[in-house]
Amino acid sequence: MKKSILTAWILCSAVVVVCAEIPQGYYNDAIGKSGKTLQTTLAKIINHSDPGYDALWSIYESTDRRDDGKVWDMYSNSSNFTFGSDQCGNYGGEGDCYNREHSIPKSWRGGTKYSDVHIVVPTDGYVNNRRSNYPFGEVGSSSYVSDNSFSKLGTCVTSGYSGTVFEPNDE
């Protein structure tokens, strides 16, 4: 029995490896390019279509759904947001509503990736406001801690950088 399970696992793994390979020559047009030219070339290769910023709300229903059907929140574990009805407008504290957070602040990167679902994620509106546009980092001394110490804002402990950073939970 164990031998047949092992054999099946090996065969499935081999199929996954073969199917997951990048097609030969796929990135050839990007070789030797850098900066904006590289970014433009990769966008053409990938052929990504921008769904639009407003479409993210419905996309999150399949990309950021917890097992219980609620919104997976990157910054808070005390939230219990329902898709559609708990989108942010106004908030007074953690758990009031969720919004769309650019994990890489728009002001840092330029370009048109305003609605890229890979970097724009659902987060608690209040905690996101506390994050502001601070970089991610490991916090030593906290000036703000979210419920259950899930996320923190404070002084960076990483050598080579001094300043305020935001630390989401490792989860």
For the segment 30-39, what is each residue's pLDDT rounded down to a tens digit? 999 998 899 8
Instruction: Dump pLDDT digits (tens) for 107-155.
Output: 776 665 678 888 899 999 999 999 998 999 999 999 999 999 999 999 9
Q: Is residue 6 over pLDDT 60?
A: no
Task: Quote the pLDDT of residue 20.
Answer: 61
- Tell me the two tokens of residue 126: 């209040």
Question: What distance in Å separates the CA atoms of residue 131 and residue 65, rounded to the nearest whole number?
Answer: 23
Q: Average of pLDDT values for 94-104? A: 91
- Three-class SS of residue 164? strand
Q: Distances in Å between the alpha carbon of 66 and those of 62, 74, 140, 149?
A: 9, 11, 30, 20
Q: Say yes or no to pLDDT of 5 above 70.
A: no
Higher pLDDT, 12 or 24: 24
How confident is the prediction for the chain on average, in pLDDT?
A: 84
How many residues would you count in the chain?
A: 171
Cα distance between residue 95 and residue 109, in whole Å? 29
Residue 146: CA atoms inside 13 Å, Cβ hemisphere, count? 28
Q: Is 94 exposed, middle or buried (0-12, 13-18, 19+ CB in 10 A)?
A: buried
Tokens matching residue 125: 């509106």
Per-residue tokens: 97: 């509503």
Measured CA to CA, the distance from residue 139 to residue 163 in angstroms comes to 10
pLDDT band at 161 (very low <50, low <70, confident <90, very high): confident
**Rg (Cα) of the chain, in Å, rounded?**
20
Q: Is the pLDDT of residue 18 over 60?
A: no
